[in-house]
Amino acid sequence: MYNLKELALMDENGKRSDGRGIDELRSIKITVGVVKNADGSAYIEFGKNKIIVAVYGPREVHPKHMALPDRCVLRCRYHMSPFSTDTRKNPAPSRREVEISKVMRESLEPSLILSDYPRAVIDVFVEVLQADGGSRCAGINAASVALADAGINMRDLVSACAAGRLSDNIVLDINDLEDKEGDADMPVAYLPNLEQVTLLQLDGKLTTTQFSECLEKAISGCKSVYEIQKEALMKKYFGNEMELKEEA
């Protein structure tokens, strides 16, 4: 007997519902410096996810009592536009958005040298224009690039990617259908140079062996994303020089 769920998520040749192989990322494009009024910004297309991030700061904290004497406060707001999902999303912040804002802040914080800006605040606004599974990872990737664009002192970039399980297969970069119909989803954020994990969530069940494989796969995805983040920053800041070198 056929298992219709498995047939839809992966065919007998190991091809997934969107034609990708087990270890294949969706296509990723990052553009740096897209919001004129922000101190730093980035736009990311991660498969069908489309997300814009604007960074403001370091600047004075309002309300003032939130200021910390020894370091900068990092605030993060993840928001989905009403037209970003298949059914209209209520524009008011949902529990899910509050949670994602928190985990995004926690995954970005270790990359920043916040003690360099005491009594100040950095605001990170993440606007999801189109969501297709993995929007928190895509948002973290764009946010880290936008923070670099804003010139915030940092130890490393943060690169994020999910891996998950479809039946017995551990696959890289879960899309919306795989998120909803698959068996496990593990978003991971990683500092590629410091080799530290700053976010690890798991929705679903994995054996110990599957857990290790999934984490390893997600980290390899983060490393691929890191190269694209670096390229996007290089393009903005050394764009002409790079073109001249290519011409020479």
Interface with ligand ADP (CB under 6 A): 85-87, 89, 96, 131-136, 176, 179
CB of 93 to ligand ADP, least distance (A): 11
Q: Is the sign of the CA dihedral 182, 137, 91, 204 positive or negative? A: positive
Hey, which residues does 78 pair with through a beta bridge? Answer: 126
- Which of 151, 183, 154, 186 has its CA nearest to residue 167? 183
Residue closer to ligand ADP (CB basis): 20 or 136: 136
150-159 exposure pattern, b = at least 16 Cβ within 10 A, e = fewer: bebebebbbb
**φ, ψ for residue 189 (rounded to 5)?**
-115, 145
Residue closer to ligand ADP (CB basis): 107 or 111: 107
CB of 128 to ligand ADP, least distance (A): 8
CB of 24 to ligand ADP, least distance (A): 18
First to last CA, the chain: 62
Residue closer to ligand ADP (CB basis): 32 or 103: 103
**φ, ψ for residue 107 (rounded to 5)?**
-80, -25
CB of 181 to ligand ADP, least distance (A): 12
Residue closer to ligand ADP (CB basis): 57 or 133: 133
Hey, which residues does 184 pair with through a beta bridge? Answer: 165, 204
- Which of 128, 100, 123 has its CA nearest to residue 43? 128
CB of 178 to ligand ADP, least distance (A): 10
Both structure tokens of 175: 């899309």
CB of 135 to ligand ADP, least distance (A): 3
Residue closer to ligand ADP (CB basis): 79 or 89: 89
Alpha carbons 10 and 4: distance in angstroms, whole number:
10
Contact 145, 229 (CB under 8 A): yes
Residue closer to ligand ADP (CB basis): 33 or 136: 136
